[in-house]
């Protein structure tokens, strides 16, 4: 169910509230361009500044707007196990196809704490769970040995890996149960990860060029690595632009430049600074704006 290109979709705001009309347009843009799944309420969706009511409403809205055309994965992770269970239970009840669980941040649990956290969520909510390892955001790295133990739990089906380490990705694939799904969480190394056994990407860049990211993944998975490599290098300029500043500032700014959303963030995120001109130049090179 979860492979190929998937989008960690932004949350558009207007006047301080979620802009549902703009979000519906973004969802249609993604589906029209062949995206494999929509991931809502992730880091790119500014989940850290959503209230519980907004979070749950956003999950429900996305599921209804997608209407079964592609899978919907709900970001439901937290640094509190009880809160993670609560959000994951809601996602299941709302009809999400899976849940993405960021590793607990700030409190920096041990590897045993990480294992127990995920095991508790898996025991409480019977829905496909995807671990999310992004040490640069959370301050803690889920080690391959811990991932391997978690892969033995039936409804923990995979991991979004954003450590940036191909060695770690390789170790996870080597140590984990057969069929355990590894997805790229880093647009820069999606193709290298595919080459060692990953099955797709949860992408930031696909917010603006879903068809291009779909093409790269499909070409590789269909046995055309040369074509996938050409797509990889074509996308690198956009990948760099999406991380000129903290995600999701550049990608939301790009979508605003493309006329798809309002350029609005929630503090502590702010409007793009000196890198704005560089972003605009990159979008022009790709023909995304005039």
Would you name the residues annotated as active-site residues? 132, 160
Closest CA to 169 of 204, 132, 144: 144
Q: How far is the C-alpha of 284 from the C-alpha of 233, rounded, in Å?
A: 17
Tokens of 227: 């074509």
Spell out the residues 6+ positions from residue 206 whose beta carbon is closer than 8 angstroms to its own: 5, 6, 7, 30, 35, 212, 213, 214
**Distance (Å) of CA 270 to CA 82, 161, 231, 245, 273:** 31, 27, 32, 10, 9
Q: Which helix (H) or strand (E) holds 116?
A: helix 111-124
Q: How far is the C-alpha of 137 from the C-alpha of 140, rounded, in Å?
A: 8
Instruction: Calculate ∠ Cα 198-200-202, nearest 5°.
Output: 125
**Distance (Å) of CA 70 to CA 11, 91, 116, 120, 175:** 18, 16, 31, 28, 30
Tokens of 258: 């493309």
């Amino acid at each position: 169910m979860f492979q190929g290109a998937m989008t960690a979709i932004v949350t558009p705001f207007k006047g301080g509230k979620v802009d549902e009309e703009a979000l519906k347009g973004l969802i249609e843009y993604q589906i029209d361009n062949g995206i494999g799944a929509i991931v809502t309420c992730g880091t790119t969706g500014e989940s850290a500044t959503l209230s519980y009511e907004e979070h749950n409403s956003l999950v429900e809205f996305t599921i209804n707007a997608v209407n079964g055309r592609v899978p919907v994965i709900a970001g439901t992770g937290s640094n509190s196990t009880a809160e993670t269970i609560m959000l994951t239970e809601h996602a299941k009840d709302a009809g999400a196809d899976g849940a993405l669980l960021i590793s607990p941040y700030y409190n920096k649990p041990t590897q045993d704490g990480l294992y127990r956290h995920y095991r508790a969520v898996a025991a409480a909510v019977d829905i496909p769970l995807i671990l999310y390892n992004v040490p640069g955001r959370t301050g803690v790295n889920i080690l391959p040995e811990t991932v391997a133990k978690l892969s033995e739990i039936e409804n923990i089906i995979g991991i979004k890996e954003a450590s940036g380490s191909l060695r770690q990705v390789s170790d996870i694939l080597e140590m984990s149960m057969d069929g355990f799904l590894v997805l790229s969480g880093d647009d820069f190394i999606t193709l290298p990860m595919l080459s060692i056994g990953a099955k797709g990407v949860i992408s930031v860049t696909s917010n603006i060029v879903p068809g291009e990211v779909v093409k790269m993944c499909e070409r590789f998975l269909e046995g055309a690595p040369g074509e996938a490599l050409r797509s990889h290098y074509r996308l690198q300029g956009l990948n760099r632009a999406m991380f000129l500043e903290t995600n999701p500032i550049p990608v939301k700014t790009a979508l605003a430049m493309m006329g798809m959303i309002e350029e609005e963030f929630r503090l502590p995120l702010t409007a793009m600074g000196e890198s704005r001109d560089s972003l605009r130049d990159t979008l022009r090179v790709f023909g995304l704006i005039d």
